[in-house]
A and B are shown apart, each in its own frame.
Chain A
Amino acid sequence: DAGITQSPRHKVTETGTPVTLRCHQTENHRYMYWYRQDPGHGLRLIHYSYGVKDTDKGEVSDGYSVSRSKTEDFLLTLESATSSQTSVYFCAISESGQETQYFGPGTRLLVL
């Protein structure tokens, strides 16, 4: 299994507070991704990174920012959490843009 961890695994927060989720990999893969999973929507891409300090938006990026200062870490920040951001967040990694994406265990976020 690919070495991917996510922290925290569960979080409850209040509307308006900032939240940062961390994805850490030990595979030295160049690409990292953040998805959210919601009932009826499958998984949707929020942001992705194709190298240190290189990031781009996905299809549901509004309200989210990301940072990647090291190959192994990819941070997802909700600047001011809203109830619509209650979801399960998955991080994924791949060696290149066309290779298989392997997923982390997920983070359950509840915004009250």
Chain B
Amino acid sequence: AQKVTQAQTEISVVEKEDVTLDCVYETRDTTYYLFWYKQPPSGELVFLIRRNSFDEQNEISGRYSWNFQKSTSSFNFTITASQVVDSAVYFCALSEAGGNNRLAFGKGNQVVVIP
């Protein structure tokens, strides 16, 4: 069964520091999709990125970057030069091509950026 592990529950950083969120996944499928979502204090879930299992290129979007490594089953997320607006819960999720379309979520990382 698909599984996602986000080990750190709460991470506090001082503004302008970098923060990296670890995501380790388990799946038996060779085709799968990885996602990151942001949940700010207002409660909505905001889509950040989607990666398929055949695309191991790292991606950068502004201050956000993602490092996908199939060899270690990891899909880590880094926020560079953090800002107070980055304070949120971040979820990593996995769906399998052969599954029932379920997104398996990790338990989330609470990021607190201290001004």
Contacts and interface: CB of A to CB of B under 8 A. Distances in A.
Q: Do A and B bind each other?
A: yes
B43 A105 contact: yes
Contact of B101 (A40, A48, A103): A48
B103 A43 contact: yes
A40 B107 contact: yes
A110 B101 CA distance: 28
B47 A97 contact: no
Contact of B103 (A41, A101, A105): A101
Which DSSP category, helix, strand, loop or mixed, fits chain B's interface? Answer: loop
- Interface bin, chain B: 20 to 34
B44 A98 contact: no
B102 interface: yes
A41 B107 contact: yes
Contacts of B108: 42
A100 B47 contact: yes
A98 B35 CA distance: 11
Contact of A31 (B35, B97, B101): B101
A43 B47 contact: no
Given A106-B43, A106-B44, A100 B50 contact: yes
11 contacts: A31-B101, A33-B101, A42-B108, A43-B93, A45-B103, A56-B100, A92-B103, A98-B95, A98-B97, A101-B47, A103-B47
Given A45-B102, A58-B100, 16 more contacts: A33-B103, A35-B103, A42-B107, A42-B108, A43-B45, A43-B103, A43-B105, A56-B100, A98-B101, A100-B50, A101-B47, A101-B103, A103-B37, A103-B45, A106-B43, A106-B44
The 6 closest A-B pairs by CB, nearest first: A42-B105, A103-B45, A97-B101, A43-B105, A45-B102, A42-B107
